[in-house]
Every structure is written in C-alpha cells, then in structure tokens.
Structure 1
Amino acid sequence: MTVIKINAITVPKDAGDELAHRFAKRAGAVDGQAGFEGFELLKPTDDREQWLVVTRWSDEESFQAWLSSPAFGHGHRSEAERSGGEAPKPVSTHSEVWSYEVADLSQG
C-alpha cells in the first residue's frame, strides 16, 4: 500500500523562491531509492506560508530506509557544507512531517 509523507514547511513569503531553488539543486536525489514512487514540491497559491513536500513510497519501511541512508544526509546538506564550508541560513521557520496512506484511488 502506498505511503504518503508530507513535509509541511513554513516559509516567509520573501524566502519561497530560495526554498524552491534549494530543492531544484537536489532534484532527482531520491529517485533511485528503493520503494520511492514520486515527489512534488507544492507552492501555496493563497496567503498561506506552508509549502508542502509530498513524497510517495511503496511502504513505511522504504521511507524509513531512506531517512537512515547516507544519501539522505548528503542530500540535506548544502553545497557549502559538502565542501567544508558553513551551512546557509535556513529559509523555513517551522517544519513537520505528516504521514498518510492511500485509502481510495478513484479511477477517472
């Protein structure tokens, strides 16, 4: 059964472009992970400040394996950190992970 993980990231309006840029630099980093089914970065279209990072996994074990993998740690460090420099200032003010499973998959 597909498992959905949503990272709800609170980002001040003036920092959204930077968040999108940072994700674009990491594009494809999770693609080869066992059990990974898809990724979307959702930008708010109203006054909300929560961006949503939506990933789909074949099962909980695959998601947990990704979290504990060296690739996860590497992908969540900046270019500067990977080359021995300082981490850039965070663009978010809060983040929390939500977990769901697909209860109904309607065919349209």
Structure 2
Amino acid sequence: MNILTHKEILIVLENAIKEGKEGVKITLEATPGAKKSEIGYDERKKAITMKVKNPPKKGKANREITEKLKEIFNAEVEIISGHTSSKNVVLVADRTKEEVVDILKKVVQND
C-alpha cells in the first residue's frame, strides 16, 4: 500500500473537482457491490474512487452514491453523467470548490 502525501492528495482532488455555475462537479470511479462503502484514491488510475455496497441494478448503486455524498457534503447531490458507467460525474450544489476539497481531504482513504 502506498500512502500519498498531503500535496499529492491535493493535486488529485484539484484535478477531479471543477467549479461551475450550477455547483461543484466531481469526477469519480464507482465500484458497486463492495464489502463496505468508502471514498478513496486509486493511484494507478489517478482518480477519486467511491465503493458502494449496493449492486448496479435498478439504480441502487447510484442512489447509494448520492445518499452518501449528501451526508458527507450536507448538500444536494446528483449524478449528472455516467448513470450506467463506472465513471460518474456528480454535482454538489451550494458548496464551493474549496469546501468540497476540504471535506474530501478528511474522508479520502488511500488504497
């Protein structure tokens, strides 16, 4: 297991998070059917990852993604791209990019 430095985590977070008119967009790689739900970083893919317990059937995994992110950010969250893909783009409303980065720094686990 490779532990990232604080600076490396910031670079990854900055690259995967974009601020727009509607809110903050986060690009992440989703893994449904995991043993536990968690947000992490895949060093090989250089991507933010999100593991969820639910399977990718009937929108269950997508619902879990949005519910977990709503809890984390205490804001409205919706998937705006990648509904049927492992690569998702989610929109976080009423948060700045800086707020999103600060929150993710606290919850990202290095794999």
TM range (shorter): 0.3 to 0.5
- Structure number, greater radius of gyration: 1
**TM (normalized to structure 1)?**
0.35
Query: Structure with the greater relative contact order (CA < 8 A, sep ≥ 6): 1 or 2?
Result: 1
**TM (normalized to structure 2)?**
0.34
